[in-house]
């Protein structure tokens, strides 16, 4: 078995080659994909593959190599609970260190042998006769009993629809598709967007460029970043004192969870956070016009709260300019704002984010009736416990609908989800089920639960349009409660919300079988 796997991981198989049979096909090898793989691995499961479109593990942390890329959550918390790292160099790690961590974890748990690189998924279709998922990828076709999408929400960059952008004669690059070869020094640079990526890339490039114009649509609330190098003494303590790093991690988790009270429960508890952000802005920006332009008109938390100590100084730097007039068009050598000002530009950096409310993987996965997940989700993403969708048997979503968090570590949510999926798989084995599918009723109930929890939250009532809400204004991306409640909800498979088809049963629809 091992030998065949190893020959196949080279991904040089002819696409026309034989279809490969696997137990579990996992799409993606970022935090979620690796976590799923490790869970399987730890209970002795080896019949699975990770289908990875790139040539390395890491996902979002592999792709976002723009200068200044770093995590907004402390590394002690933003890491796997089963693979704490006593050697983090900073409290908030930068991208290279996180990527190195993921690579190391993949080695340590021997996941790489299960990875098929260069395997961009073209489509996945449920074959109801065979009760298998047929997954066609750039590296060959797979027939899988179980499909786990760990494709993530911050995977596919969005490109803004700006007139003339395609006529631009200089370089255009998205922050998530950074070209390290391109030297920005001495250039006139335009940065479009002021979200989490922009506020990291702007201060990183501002000192080297001739001038930088930051095109802002909506300002973000920014709070101080308490980043600092980790002292060698702390690293030794993490290594030597049993439970110490876990305790620190727990403290960070609890501290961050307090934010949920303000975000989702009682908005007045956000007031001190808003005051902190306001004071931060006033301390760092003296120019009244700039300060006004950087002051959001919505409640803090409605859009993602950003953390930075160097973004405001960078946009207030002598060679910087914040443009709020909106972009009218791009010309071959300049960007024109709606107030009729034309700024000569050498390079445009698109820090315009990702397809979050319209997960691109959803267009590629087709369920029992042949409709894609995207078509089923036309009216908004629905699921049972963020993991399963009726009509899509044996499919599990990681980092899908309503698991997003803005205040704490996504890894916590991923581990909760992986635990849930793993419990589902074990249940299938225990009951000898060949097919497991959630019900529409369960989906409706979960939608109602999310809607109920979302009522009165800052995301719906904070007076902003954020990437957390879909085009209908519904919260389909965020988990609107304490994250420990999500963990509790997904601790065990809610078997009553599923229809199972035993392996021996004839090939009929589960509804009939049930």
Partner 1 sequence: MSAGTVLRRVAAVRTGDGALIHAVVDGSDDAPVTLVLAHGWTLAQASWDDVAHLLTPKVAAGELRLIRYDQRGHGRSTWGRYADDVAELSIDQLGADLGALLDQLVPTGPVVLGGHSMGGMTIMCLAAARPELFTDRVGGVALVSTSAGDLAPSGEKLAERLQLKLAPGLVTAAIGGARLVERFRQLVPPSHPRHRKIVRELLYGADATDEMVIAGAEIMHASTVRAFAAFYPALGQHDKRTELKALSGVPVEVLVGDSDKLTPQRHSRQLAEALPDAALHVADRTGHMLIQERPRLVADAIERLLTAATAGRAAA
Q: Please report how close the Cβ of residue 349 comes to partner 1 at its closest, in angstroms.
A: 16
Q: In this chain, which stretch among 4-12, 44-52, 207-215, 499-507 interacts with partner 1, using CB under 8 A?
A: 207-215
Asked if 506 touches partner 1 (CB under 8 A), the answer is no
Adjacent-strand bridge partners of 499: 437
Say whether residue 291 binds partner 1 (CB under 8 A): yes
CB of residue 344 to partner 1, shortest distance in Å: 6
The DSSP secondary structure of 451-471, one letter per residue, reads HHHHTT-HHHHSS---TTB-T
Distance of alpha carbon 323 from alpha carbon 341, whole angstroms: 10
- For partner 1, the closer CB: 23 or 313: 313
Give yes or no for residue 288 binding partner 1 (CB under 8 A): yes
User: Six-digit token pair at 310?
Assistant: 């160097």
Q: How far is the CB of 193 from partner 1 (least distance, A)?
A: 19
For partner 1, the closer CB: 230 or 328: 328
Q: Is residue 286 a contact residue for partner 1 (CB under 8 A)? A: yes
CA 138 to chain centre: 23
| Gap between the Cα atoms of 237 and 310, Å rounded | 30
343 in contact with partner 1 (CB under 8 A): yes
Task: Tell me which residue of 267, 289, 277, 257 sits closest to 199, measured CA to CA.
Answer: 277
Q: Which of 174, 188, 225, 474 binds partner 1 (CB under 8 A)?
A: 188
Can residue 213 be called a binding residue for partner 1 (CB under 8 A)?
yes
Hunting for tokens 């991208």 — which residue is that?
95
- Is residue 341 a contact residue for partner 1 (CB under 8 A)? yes
Q: Which is nearer to partner 1, 13 or 333 (CB)?
A: 333
Q: What is the 3-state secondary structure (H, E, C) of 425-447?
A: HHHHHHCCEEEEEECHHHHHHHH
**Is the Cα dihedral 446, 449, 453, 455 positive or negative?**
positive
Q: In angstroms, how far is the first alpha carbon of the chain from the final one? A: 36
Q: Beta-carbon neighbour count of residue 251 at 10 Å? A: 12
For residue 340, the minimal CB distance to partner 1 (Å) is: 5
The answer to whether 342 contacts partner 1 (rule: CB under 8 A) is yes
Q: How far apart are CA 166 and CA 145, in angstroms?
A: 43
CA distance 29 to 121: 13
Which token pair is 386?
């963020």
Site residues for partner 1, window 301-340 (CB under 8 A)?
316-321, 331, 334, 336, 340
Secondary structure letter of residue 113 according to DSSP: G
Q: Given the complex with partner 1, which of 309 and 509 has the nearer CB atom?
A: 309
Of the pair 138, 204, the CB lying nearest partner 1 is at 204
Among 108, 282, 431, 452, indicate the residue that binds partner 1 (CB under 8 A): 282
Q: Considering beta carbons, is residue 285 or 403 the nearer one to partner 1?
A: 285
Site membership for partner 1, residue 344 (CB under 8 A): yes
Least distance in angstroms from the C-beta of 173 to partner 1: 21
Which tokens belong to 203?
A: 């201060």
If one asks whether residue 214 binds partner 1 (CB under 8 A), the answer comes out as: no
Q: Is 173 in the site for partner 1 (CB under 8 A)?
A: no
Q: Tokens 């993602």 correspond to what residue? A: 304
| Site residues for partner 1 per CB under 8 A | 188, 210-211, 213, 282, 286-289, 291, 316-321, 331, 334, 336, 340-344
């Amino acid at each position: 078995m091992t030998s065949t796997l190893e020959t196949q991981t080279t991904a040089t198989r002819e696409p026309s080659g034989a279809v490969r049979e696997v137990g579990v096909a996992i799409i993606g090898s970022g935090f979620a994909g690796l976590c799923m793989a490790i869970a399987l691995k730890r209970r002795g499961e080896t019949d699975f593959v990770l289908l990875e479109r790139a040539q390395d593990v890491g996902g979002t942390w592999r792709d976002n190599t723009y200068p200044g890329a770093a995590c907004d959550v402390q590394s002690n918390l933003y890491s796997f609970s089963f693979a704490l790292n006593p050697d983090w160099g900073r409290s908030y790690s930068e991208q290279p260190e996180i990527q190195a961590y993921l690579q190391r974890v993949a080695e340590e748990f021997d996941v790489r042998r299960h990875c098929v690189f260069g395997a961009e998924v073209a489509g996945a279709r449920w074959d109801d006769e065979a009760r298998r998922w047929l997954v066609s990828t750039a590296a060959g076709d797979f027939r899988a009993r179980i499909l786990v999408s760990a494709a993530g929400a911050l995977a596919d960059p969005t490109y803004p629809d700006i007139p003339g952008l395609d006529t631009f004669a200089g370089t255009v690059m998205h922050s998530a598709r950074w070209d390290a070869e391109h030297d920005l020094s001495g250039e006139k640079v335009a940065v479009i967007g002021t979200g989490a990526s922009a506020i990291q890339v702007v201060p990183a490039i501002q000192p080297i460029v001739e001038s930088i114009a930051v095109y802002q649509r909506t300002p973000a609330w920014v709070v101080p970043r308490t980043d600092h190098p980790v002292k060698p003494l702390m690293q030794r303590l993490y290594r030597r004192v049993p439970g110490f790093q876990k305790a620190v991690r727990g403290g960070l988790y609890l501290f961050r969870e307090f934010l949920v009270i303000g975000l989702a429960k009682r908005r007045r508890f956000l007031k001190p956070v808003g005051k902190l952000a306001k004071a931060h802005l006033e301390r760092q920006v003296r120019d009244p016009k700039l300060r006004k332009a950087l002051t959001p008109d919505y409640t803090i938390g409605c859009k993602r709260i950003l953390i930075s100590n160097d973004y405001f100084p960078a946009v207030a730097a002598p060679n910087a300019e914040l443009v709020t007039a909106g972009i009218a068009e791009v010309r071959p050598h300049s960007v024109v704002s709606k107030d009729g000002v034309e700024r000569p530009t050498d390079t445009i950096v698109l820090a315009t984010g990702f397809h979050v409310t319209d997960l691109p993987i959803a267009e590629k996965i087709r369920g029992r009736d042949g409709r894609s997940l995207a078509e089923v989700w036309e009216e908004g993403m629905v699921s049972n416990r963020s993991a399963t969708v009726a009509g899509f048997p044996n499919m599990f979503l990681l980092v899908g609908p309503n698991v997003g968090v803005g205040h704490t570590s996504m890894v916590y949510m991923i581990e909760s989800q992986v635990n849930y999926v793993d419990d589902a798989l074990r249940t299938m084995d225990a009951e000898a089920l060949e097919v497991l599918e959630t019900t529409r009723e369960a989906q409706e109930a979960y939608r109602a639960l999310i809607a109920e929890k979302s009522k009165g939250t800052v995301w719906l009532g904070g007076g902003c349009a954020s990437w957390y809400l879909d085009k209908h204004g519904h919260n389909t991306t965020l988990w609107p409660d304490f994250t420990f409640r999500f963990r509790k909800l997904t601790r065990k498979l809610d078997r009553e919300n599923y229809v199972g088809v035993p392996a021996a049963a004839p090939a009929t629809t589960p509804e009939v079988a049930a």
